[in-house]
Amino acid sequence: MTATLPPTDADGRIAELREEIDACDAELIRLVQRRLAVSHEIGRLRRESGGTRLSLAREQQVIARFQDALGPDGAALGMMLLRQGRGRL
């Protein structure tokens, strides 16, 4: 059986939890921006040293990591992060 809270208690708890979600989102945005900057720097270094624009083997590792941790939506998230770094193929 699940405990039921009076609506006013539930409202207060929802507001608290939303603050936690807002903090998570802010941290995620900061991390995505940091990831993007690092990815661009790697790409620049690779191009300047005569390498390829992309590293498909590395992209597979990244996607597999997200897939293992989060399932199919995780794989999609990994692909979005990669696309953000290198642009659409």
Ligand X SMILES: O=C(O)C(=O)C[C@]1(C(=O)O)C=C[C@@H](O)C=C1
Q: Footprint of ligand X on this chain (CB under 6 A)? A: 39, 42-43, 54-55, 58-59, 62, 82, 85-86
**Complex with ligand X: residue 14 or 29, whichever CB lies closer:** 29
Q: How far apart are CA 77 and CA 8, in angstroms?
A: 36
**Complex with ligand X: residue 43 or 75, whichever CB lies closer:** 43
**What tokens does 1 get?**
């059986």
Of the candidates 43, 68, 66, which has an alpha carbon nearest to the alpha carbon of residue 79? 66
Q: Minimum distance between the CB of residue 31 and ligand X, rounded to whole angstroms?
A: 13
Q: Minimum distance between the CB of residue 41 and ligand X, rounded to whole angstroms?
A: 9
**Complex with ligand X: residue 39 or 67, whichever CB lies closer:** 39
CB-count exposure of residue 66 (10 Å: 0-12, 13-18, 19+): buried
Q: Minimum distance between the CB of residue 71 and ligand X, rounded to whole angstroms?
A: 20
**Complex with ligand X: residue 42 or 69, whichever CB lies closer:** 42
- Terminal CA-to-CA distance of the chain, rounded, Å? 51
